[in-house]
């Protein structure tokens, strides 16, 4: 079965509970197996900065689903847990689930881009991903996760381990 890395984030309501509930619901409806989970990090917002800090983590799963069915199920879980898709792009949300890697698949369609198109620019993705897959190589950029993380400016995106 395919190995998939997913990012999880929330900055509305009970952030930790939103993320944990999202993981549990996703595993239940997709019949996927959780292999690893990174620590959670509090991270400053990117893109739309007039909002509260996010709580972010990354999980590694094994799934029987193809990438498009997985994407549909991710959107379903986000919706079930209160995400409003009509808000500001990169704005506040109860839950955000994104496919980072799906095996070594490279997909670029109007509906789905894998690997995630902005992950290499985002400390809030790369730091937790580096905790569970530091040597995973980005199939397009041909750099490891740890190399991508080290390539970010030190001043970019504050991130703090969540306790």
Q: Provide the annotated active-site residues.
A: 83, 93, 96, 98
Dihedral pair phi/psi, residue 58, rounded to 5°: -135, 140
Do 113 and 107 meet the contact criterion of CB atoms below 8 Å apart?
yes
Q: In angstroms, rounded to a whole number, what is the distance separating the alpha carbons of residues 150 and 35? A: 25
Radius of gyration of the chain (CA): 15
Please, what sign has the CA dihedral across residues 140, 118, 30, 85? Answer: negative
127: which residues sit within 8 A by CB, 6+ positions away? 41, 149, 159
124: which residues sit within 8 A by CB, 6+ positions away? 7, 9, 41, 43, 46, 54, 56, 157, 159
């Amino acid at each position: 079965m395919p190995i998939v890395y997913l990012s999880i984030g929330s900055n509305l309501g009970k952030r930790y509970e939103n993320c944990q509930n999202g993981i549990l619901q996703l595993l239940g409806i997709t019949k996927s197996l959780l292999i690893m989970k990174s620590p959670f990090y509090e991270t400053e917002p990117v893109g739309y900065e007039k909002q509260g800090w996010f709580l972010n983590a990354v999980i590694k799963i094994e799934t029987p689903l193809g990438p498009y069915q997985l994407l549909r199920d991710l959107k379903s879980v986000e919706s079930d847990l209160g995400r409003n898709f009509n808000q500001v792009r990169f704005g506040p949300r109860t839950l955000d689930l994104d496919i980072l890697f799906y095996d070594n698949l490279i997909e670029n369609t109007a509906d789905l881009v894998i690997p995630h198109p902005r992950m290499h620019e985002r400390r809030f993705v790369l730091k937790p991903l580096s905790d569970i897959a530091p040597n995973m190589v980005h199939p397009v950029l041909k750099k490891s996760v740890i190399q991508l993380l080290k390539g970010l400016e030190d001043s970019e995106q504050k991130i703090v381990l969540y306790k």
